[in-house]
Amino acid sequence: MKLNPIEKVQQLSKADFTKYFLEPKRPVIFKDLSAQWPAVNKWTFDYFKENYGDLEVSLIDKSFNSAENYFKSVKKLRFYEYLDLLEQNKPIDLRLFLFDIFKEAPELTNDISFPEIMNGFIKNYKFMFFGGRESVTNLHFDVDCSHVFLTQFQTRKKVILFSPEESKKLYHLPFTTMSKFDPENPDFEKYPLAEYLNGYEGTIEHGETVFIPSEWWHYLRYIDGGFSLALRANDSPLTILKGGLHLVQHQLIDLSLSKVLGANWHKWKEDQARKKAKKLEHELV
């Protein structure tokens, strides 16, 4: 498995972004895309605790993708209680996933602005993500197939990316946008094709933004307890249609059969992913 560094840039023009990153669907880390946002200096742990600490938040952990607790929260806390845990910066497997804080606090929208680096930003589809130190977002691509601009605040996050062309080597689970492969702790006996993967890796720090192209696989690890904001853009009707198909498959097939069949459904998905990968083994091994 080879992981290349994600290029870091600043003062990138819209034309150069389009030519070198958007059109070829190549990831990049902007050092200054959010430089003019009030949020960069304003959004701190203390700020959120003082102003929005009484909000109740639903938290997930590593069982989120397991048969026992598939797509379910494991705990509810007041926001300030959760932020206190993150600030201790001890390893904690609790994450706040797809948090639309803007519904509860629409004034926070004034602290950010949608970048002019491309067209097609989805103005009503912005989410925050919080996680404890060493917590992980497992390998997946986003179900809506949008381009993602993920901006990190206060602390650091590790990012590993793979292109859609690598999907079979990632043992893509059918009817989902997920993989069980762990690129930081690779098990090449269980996933032999993963040894031939080519991807990208990088670390985003406070104020930096990683561009994750549409349908690109991403794995995220919180180096420190912290938070980030995801803005999404879509410049293609085809990816909108793909996103709709993935959403239907997830809602009507994957979640439904998980409820009915439980662990048997999850085992079937893994078995099918391995069978599909087997067909490639003779070409690569």
Number of domains comprising the chain = 1
Calculate the dihedral angle through the C-alpha atoms of 145, 7, 45, 71, rounding to the nearest 10 degrees: 30
User: Long-range pairs for 107-114 at CB < 8 Å and ≥24 separation?
Assistant: 108/39, 110/38, 111/37, 111/38, 111/39, 111/42, 111/43, 112/34, 112/37, 112/38, 112/39, 112/229, 112/231, 113/36, 113/37, 114/231
pLDDT at residue 11, as a whole number? 95
pLDDT above 90 (res 239): no
pLDDT at residue 157, as a whole number? 98
pLDDT above 70 (res 75): yes
CATH number at residue 227: 2.60.120.650
What number is the average pLDDT over the span 37-60?
97
pLDDT above 90 (res 242): no
What number is the average pLDDT over the span 61-87?
94
What number is the average pLDDT over the span 51-64?
96
Q: What is the mean pLDDT of the chain?
A: 94
What number is the average pLDDT over the span 49-68?
95
pLDDT at residue 104, as a whole number? 93
Chain segment 167-219, per-residue pLDDT in tens = 989 999 999 999 999 999 999 999 999 999 999 999 999 999 999 999 999 99
Chain segment 91-141, per-residue pLDDT in tens = 999 999 999 999 999 999 999 999 999 999 999 899 999 999 999 999 999
- Give the range of the structural domain holding residue 50, as residue numbers without chain letter: 2-284
pLDDT above 80 (res 285): no
pLDDT at residue 208, as a whole number? 98
pLDDT class of 284 with cuts at 50, 70, 90 = low
pLDDT at residue 213, as a whole number? 98
